[in-house]
Amino acid sequence: MADARIHMEKAVMVLLLIGFAVFLPACGTLKEEKERMQAMAAVGEANAVKYIREKYGFEPEVVQAKACTVRDAGFKLQTTGSVDVWMAHGQQEFRVHISGEEEGKEGLDDYQYGLIKAEAKAYFSGLLGYEIYDLYLEYRDRQIAGDRYSDEQEENMLNGLYQEGGFGDFMEQHPVYCRIDDCLGQDLTGFAMANPDAAAYLEEAANHYGLRAVLISYKSQEDYGRGYAHTYGRSGLTDFGIEQDSFYIQSYAVFEEEGVKYRRFETQELDGIFFCCVDKGNGDGILAKSGKVTWQELGKTKKDPVSEIYSVAKEEAGEITVYIPEGLFWEVWKGGGGVYTTLWEWEVVAV
């Protein structure tokens, strides 16, 4: 028995030693990788200072430098060879993306983003001929070939120097994604007729220069403030999910390479509940019954109905968003009820 115990202890010790031997190289590898990343960050920081000094003529303050990493197929963290350096000049903070593997002064930065966005807002305001309430702007350094989602360019980073007053030329040289909001309650389905020159230019820019733009007209500033998402247009996703704000948006227009879209929303109110969808006709796309009917009357169940429902249909397939006033919504829940839909296209929102 004692011999067996001795053998077992030896086996455990051997296993522990093997594990320790395996663990040591792993620790060494992690330590070496950390030191390599720190060395890359130092090289990138020095490169970024030289790059900004030469490009803009001032001495930047370094806030932080960090080696860029990605995960490979095995989820292992690997360096890309580039470094992100956060810097400051006066009250302005900005970022530089540059090599950390060797000395050099070729990089990208977003120092001029504020200037470019301000000039973009003025440019589009003049082009469209109305007051812009808010503008989201995103661009890339070079034109994108093929699938834009596979391109790994940094957002809002430029290698070249933006020439003040030249946003029109800039848009023809760089792919631009933008969202232009107004609070004028416009019917943008008539935009091409009201402003044919602007519509033609935006369509041309979408077809030839990579522009992806969505114009959104909210019913009022109050409705803009109530909006659920102000993220339309990001990464070139112009109107994805915009139906969730159909109660607050009067209309919108999309300009992208895939085509041009003009849409307005219609709303029908029944018993304090609002049904919204894209208006594809004369404002009568939603066919909601004037009263509530029970499940039993619709033949959906042979048991006693547990609630009442609304019967809603559309002339064409599409999404209907249902807005329920918050007071009514909680009144239903407190009474032990709930809000349910039987069509996947529906979206229920408490307002």
Mean of pLDDT values over 177-182: 97
- DSSP-derived 3-state class of residue 183: coil
- Reply yes or no on whether the pLDDT at 304 is more than 70: no
Q: Tell me how far apart the alpha carbons of residues 129 and 124 are, in angstroms, rounded to a whole number.
A: 8
- Reply yes or no on whether the pLDDT at 301 is more than 60: no
Per-residue DSSP letter, 158: B
pLDDT in tens, 185-213: 999 999 999 999 999 999 999 999 999 99
**Considering just the CA atoms, what is the radius of gyration of the chain in Å?**
29
pLDDT in tens, 126-136: 999 999 999 99
Q: Is 180 exposed, middle or buried (0-12, 13-18, 19+ CB in 10 A)?
A: buried
Q: Tell me how far apart the alpha carbons of residues 136 and 143 are, in angstroms, rounded to a whole number.
A: 19
Q: Tell me how far apart the alpha carbons of residues 173 and 164 are, in angstroms, rounded to a whole number.
A: 15
Task: Please tell me the predicted confidence (pLDDT) of residue 287.
Answer: 58
Instruction: Give the strand pairing for 321-324 and 347-350.
Output: parallel
pTM of the model: 0.78
Task: Please tell me the predicted confidence (pLDDT) of residue 273.
Answer: 81
Confidence of residue 324 (pLDDT cuts 50, 70, 90): confident
Token pair for 285: 């796309």
Greatest mean pLDDT among 6-10, 87-91, 225-229: 87-91
Per-residue DSSP letter, 113: H
Lowest mean pLDDT among 16-20, 95-99, 159-163, 251-255: 16-20
Mean of pLDDT values over 140-148: 66
Task: Please tell me the predicted confidence (pLDDT) of residue 79.
Answer: 83
Confidence of residue 12 (pLDDT cuts 50, 70, 90): very low
Q: How far is CA 156 from the centre of its chain?
A: 14
Counting every residue, how long is the chain?
Answer: 351
Look over the chain and give the mean of its residue pLDDT values, rounded to a whole number.
80
The answer to whether the beta carbons of residues 117 and 111 sit under 8 Å apart is no
Domain ranges across the chain: 2-109, 113-265, 271-350
Task: Please tell me the predicted confidence (pLDDT) of residue 35.
Answer: 87
Lowest mean pLDDT among 96-100, 153-157, 231-235, 317-321: 317-321
Task: Please tell me the predicted confidence (pLDDT) of residue 82.
Answer: 92
Mean of pLDDT values over 298-327: 61
The answer to whether the beta carbons of residues 314 and 290 sit under 8 Å apart is no
Instruction: Please count the CA atoms within 13 angstroms of the CA of 44 that sit on its side-chain side.
Output: 31
